[in-house]
Structure 1
Amino acid sequence: MTGTGAASPGPVRVAADGAGLTLDGRAWWPAGMNAYQLGTDWSINRGCGAQVDLDRYFSLLPPRTVTRFDAFQSLAINKHTGELDFTALDKVFAAAQRHGQLLIPVLTAQDGACEDEVFKQRDWYVDGWRKVAPGAVMSFADWVDAAVQRWRGSPTVAAWELVGEPETSVCPGGDCSFANRVCPEDAARVLRAFVDQAGERVRELDPGRLITVGLTGGGQCGTAGEDYAYVGASPNLDLLQYHDYHADGVALPGDQWNGLAVRIRQAKALDKPLLVAEIGESAGGGLSTARRAVDIAAKIAGQRAAGTAGALLWSFVPDPRADEQTYDIGAGDPLFPVLGQYNTVGAPRD
């Protein structure tokens, strides 16, 4: 078992305000990647997708690129002993630092994928996050403590993400299919209280570091319409998100209530930047990766002009399925030059 090893807080390189993000005091508009599989190490943990050659992956990226990845408790549990073992995740932070790259560690996900495979309902956000789930060795609250204290000294951490794509639905009869979910009246209040409380703990442990939560932004339970701004107004939430799928080539998807244009306006009113943290378009199986790169480049350009603070693509994998239509982005994909075009660091900002 590896120790939980608390590090002293490290340098805070990324800052945020209504004007956007800065990196080392200079205006920064990151165009980066999601690579959820980085913590997979089949010799240690049960993994989440295929194993990635970390040095090769980070060397593919332009300098100072941000990668959003899964830093789940399950990836810090040794599959042979059942005890905590941070080795696989430590390797991700070390490789990113070697290559001068940045990270957004996602501490858990709404759907339970690669963890307990259980969709998180309203009660998890009330107090379930303080309880130990089956297969875990600690509660999510304790995992936040352990993860933040262990990696807060790393200069690679751009922001901590509490939960990927949260929603505070209820699943009658235990069926959490989309059509069966019910959104309770207090959904937004429950989610806001969770962000306030969990975010406060991160703030105590790593003062000054940005905190985000993976808001999908498309009208999900707890963040529909004006509830998005209500949750986004949490004092322990610094960076807002929107996730963009099923609108190929369209810069500002969505409707007048939950579209990206609405979310940009809400973020500006809150004086907080908005990161389009997932942009996905299918390719493969007869769909051209070159066409996808053109569509996504146009999308990013339009979103940047409209006032977003960055864009992350979904998703790098080491084994792209060329014969299927997927969101897979492999080494050599024409999207990598797009990242280089839009990932920019500019003039110093006061």
Structure 2
Amino acid sequence: MEDSKMIIWLTETILSSSDDSDVSSWGEICSEKYESSEEDDESDKLFFPLMQYLLRLRRKRVDDYLHIIDSWSDTEFKKRLRISRKTAMRLIADLEKSGFIASHKFGLKPLEPKLCFYIFLSFIANTEPLTPMATRFDISISSTFRVIRRVVAWILTKLNDAIKWPQDYNEIKTICETFHVKTGISNMLGVIDCTHIRIEKPKNARQYCNPRGYFSVILQATVDANMRFTNIFCGEPGSSNCSRVLRKSPLYNTASQNRNALFPDNTFLVGHSGYPALPWLVPPFRENKRLTLQQREFNSLHSATRKISDKAFQLLKRRFQRIKLFTVYRNIAFITDTIVAACILHNYCLNENDYLEEQE
């Protein structure tokens, strides 16, 4: 009878446990339970082989899901994880060399870079909670979250390489010419705009409640003619307007102190009517009955141009759907870091010609 109870307890404990940190103690617990019984040594032949079998079964579940991902077609891989397999493999190779993924074991399965990156992609590609994600990969929720934070921290190290302001004369000239071809506006270096990222109600709720009535943080970005981010500033509370966010950003401080450093040869950004008119930022003319025909034509071009930033934000949120809504998470620093990481991957994918089906 005691043997039967022990078998039931052991099976339920190992197969239903979601915390890998408990795995290493299962053997000790079994030993303690067994020593407290009066059974003879013959029970060893039953309990410990069973425990080893169940532990191997858990390891197999992880391996099986990795094999499932590897068995996906390239189309299915991209549909589920939102980037191409080729892009993912290149990033995994970089992650392996980075040292951000510890070499020691957490529980049963060494958290190899490939596994960690797949966990991160599963997290950022959709809005599902961590629990089903942890179940699929057969690691604890705490380990899943730890993996996500480590991969985010690693991606942030690529910020200056992935999102950079155009400095080279030829690069600036190319951007301006591309904008001119697409919009008819000369000397334009980019479009500036903000988007709200919905979050759960934080502690200082009033500060993060935006005019639309939900809680959010703001992502400010400048976008080139190919929808690449050339500058981002993220984390301001949703109650702030675009003009206030701009004045808090490093972009504003640098441009105010030394315009030519960012906007040589009278280049400029365009932004909607909520932005102030500055030597390097051009909003549309205020709509009134006194506008000339040329001013109205400029406003029409201006409006069409701003759609580039709208498309860039839409693409970001379609590819990385976590950016649409952060459920459960209330740590603003983690949310901000994840948004920035998504922006970095957005640029990385564009540089790799890794487009979504909608773009293609």
Q: TM-score, normalised by structure 1?
A: 0.26
Greater share of strand: 1
Structure with the bigger percentage of helix:
2
Higher relative CO (Cα under 8 Å, sequence separation at least 6) belongs to 1
Larger Rg: 1 or 2? Answer: 2
TM-score w.r.t. length of structure 2: 0.25
